[in-house]
Structures are given as C-alpha cells and as structure tokens.
Amino acid sequence: MNDIKEVRSAHLDDFYYKVKHQSGLTVYIYPKNKNNSTYAVFGTKYGSIDNCFKIAGEKEPHKVPDGIAHYLEHKLFESEDGDAFARYAKTGASANAYTSFYNTCYLFSCTQNVYESLEILLDFVQSPYFTKETVQKEQGIIGQEIKMYDDDPQWCVLFDLLEAMYHNHPVKNDIAGTVASIARITPELLYECYNTFYNLNNMVLCVAGNVDAEKVIAMCDKMLKPSKPIRIDRIFEEEPRHIVRARVEKKLAVASPMFNLGFKEDAGGPMAGVEKVARTDILLEALAGDFTKLYRSLLDKGLINENTFGKEYFEGPGFASVIFGGDSKDPDAAAEEIKKEIERVRREGIDAADFRMAQKSLYGHSVSALNDVGNIANSLAALSLSGRDFFGYIDAIADADIDGVNARLETQLMPEYSSLSVVKPFG
C-alpha cells in the first residue's frame, strides 16, 4: 500500500503530498494548478564523490573510477530501441539531466502530455542498457567534454579552490572524472553502480505544476518495479581540518581576473540540518548582500562585478565551506576586504538592521521561488536527497534569531582555514 501524507508549511498557505510508494520510492507531488506547465525530477542520492562504497552484508568496499556517476547519467538515456530524447520529442517535453557531487537527477518540463512524459521518465531511468561498444563510444564524447572544462575559467577557479582546501575528500575531483579514469569504465562497472544506487529506496520523484496527484500515483503504480531496501555506506578518507595551501593561481583566456575565496569548515559528521543552513545563508547575506557596506565598498573600489559576485554555503556529505567569488580587477585585495569585514563582524556581531534585511530578503526570495515549478521540483529533490524538509528551510529562515546567526561565526569563516583561487588573463 502507498502511504500518502499532506505536508503544509508553518508560515505559508501552501502544501504538497509526500508519498511513500509501495515500490520503495519517495514521491513528492506539489500541485500548482494555476500554472500552465509541469516539471518532474527523478533523482538518486548518487554523485561524483561516491567513488568508494560498501553495501551492507559485504566484506569488501567497491572502489570505482572517478566520473562514473556522470558517465552513467549519459548512458541511461540510451536503450536498445533508441534514446529517451527521441521519445520525448513525440510528447513535446523538454528533457535534461545533471550529475552533482552527491546527486544525479533526470528531468523534463512540459505544458501537455504530462503523464505520457512521466511514463517515459520512469521507464528509461529503470531500464539500463550498456554494451562494450556503446560504452567505448561514450568515452570519446565525455573525453571531449572533460577537455572543454579544462579551459572553462569558472570551472577551473572552483576546482582549483577545492584542491587547495581538501587533502583527501573526493569533492576536489572533477565531476566528470579524467580522460584516464573514464577509460577504465566498463559495462560491468556501470551495472554494479546502477544496481547499487538506482535502488528506488535511494531515490525520489518530484512532480510540480498542473498535475493530478491521483494520476501521478497511478502512473507510479504502473511503472515502478519494487525494490528491496539497501544500506549503502559511503567511504571517505579522513579529511584533515587544515587546508592544503592558502593561494593558487592559473592563467587562462579571460577578459578580467576571477577569484573564489573559500573558508573550509569541519564537516566530518552528517550533513547540516535546515536550521544550520538557514542561519549560514542569513549570515552570508548580512555580510555581503547587495545592501551591505561591504558590497558597496567592493563595488565602489572596482573589486567586484555586480553581475558576477556571489556567495554560497557549499556543502555535502563530508565537506562544507563558504565560498565568495566573481570577477575582480584585484582578487587579492577583494579577498582581504572580505576577510576584514568577517573579523569585524566576529568582534562586534551582526548589525540588527542588517540581520532583519538579510532575513526578509532570503524569506522573500524563497517564497517567490514557489511560483516557479522548476525551482520547486529541483529544490524538493535536492532537499529530500539531503535528508531535509522542503518547508523546513523556509520556516527556519522565518524563525531564525540574530544570536543563532552570530553563533555560526564560532565555527565558520575562520581565516586560518581559507584559500584563494585566482584565474588571470594571459600576458
């Protein structure tokens, strides 16, 4: 039997259905019936960092090549009878997929033929088809993609930063792997990883938009193959608290210098709860939001570009950091300005007016995002696969207090654990 619950926000007049399907899959249905479009995400808790894992009951861990999760994402669209994109073309849906550090998601959006498109999604993701010939063909395609990213300045400035911060954690490795690592991928390895991580108990389906919940569940009843629960232990080498190096620099074909300034955090335990994430996000907005003295000072001095500057709490299983970044005529000066402001706030605390502005800004952004069915479906998937509640994050922002946000500075944004990654133009 399917277990169906209605989940409502403590602060918003909005709800969604959470269904524990009899197959083992968790299904989220977020009706937005005044919307013309529908967006669906079928995701698994499996990403680039999962290169060493152990299945409950087995003695030895599985060690697989870097890039295999991304490789598997590419290959699942193919079948013996063709590919999923050709099938979607007949329903008019727009389809895509992505692999992150710890998730892989398959998605489509459409304005018609919703349930036919949903049937395609549930079908091809559950129907792996790998042969030696097709796997070898994909190695060349992904190899070209890897080489392309080697010249992408935004990609390079991030992964150079991660390599400067992390000694052992696989978050420092490129999501797509390397040309050498993907050359070791075989059909057998793909099936091994698929059968482990594409277990429905390790996956979620999120559908948002103009949908009928009963019809979504009926399609799940028709298409989902029951899965026995499986326990997967993800194995990471111990990660030291200290960074690898304080500064790295690379020259690429860019018009102006770019930087990423990262502050490594101790993240040896489980992923943070929504309260910790919400407080961190409010802290970053109060520090460097576009209404702050720091932001205006950086902008007035030409140390940031208003179109590229950003900040984020970058975290996942076994890793966490805060990253500031963007274009800058003087990345080192920008980094020093940011560090000085962090230390001032550590001494004096967040200004009460800045706290209120940051809280209102983040809350307003989160609420307005509920008008976007794509944002809803992707956020539901990401939060669920991280063990977090969708409305919990919004409620945590609304309920945050300034003391709790200031307390984040006791363990975050420590200058001794910071690294600066810079990409500069040739010449």
Catalytic-labelled residue, pool 6, 73, 237, 315: 73
Sign of the Cα pseudo-torsion (143, 145, 146, 147, in order): positive
- Write down all domains in the chain, each with its CATH number in brackets: 3-234 (3.30.830.10), 247-425 (3.30.830.10)
Which residues are CB-contacts of 270 (< 8 A; sequence separation ≥ 6)?
317, 387
Per residue in 33-63, pLDDT tens? Answer: 888 999 999 999 999 999 999 998 888 999 9
Please report the pLDDT score of residue 270 as a whole number: 67
- Name the DSSP class of 281: H
Contact 125, 87 (CB under 8 A): no
Q: Where are the alpha helices (DSSP H) in 321-372?
A: 331-348, 352-368
Quick one: average pLDDT of 264-268? Answer: 86
Average pLDDT over residues 334-338: 98
- Cα–Cα distance between 165 and 143 in angstroms, integer? 26
- Work out the average pLDDT over 98-120: 97
Query: Once rounded to an integer, what is the mean pLDDT over residues 198-205?
Result: 97
Predicted pLDDT of residue 335: 98
Residue type, 181: S
pLDDT tens digits, residue range 392-414?
999 999 999 999 999 999 989 99
With cut-offs at 50, 70 and 90, classify the pLDDT of residue 150: confident
Average pLDDT value over all residues in the chain? 94
60 is catalytic: no
Structural tokens at position 311: 């900040």
Q: Hey, what are 112's tokens?
A: 């018609």
Whole-model pTM?
A: 0.94
Amino acid at 78: E
Q: What is the pLDDT of residue 122?
A: 97
Mean pLDDT in residue range 148-173: 94
Whether residue 269 is predicted with pLDDT greater than 80 in this model: the reply is no
Q: 60-92 burial, b for 16+ CB within 10 Å, e for fewer?
A: eebebbbbbbbbbbebbbbeeeeebeebbeebe
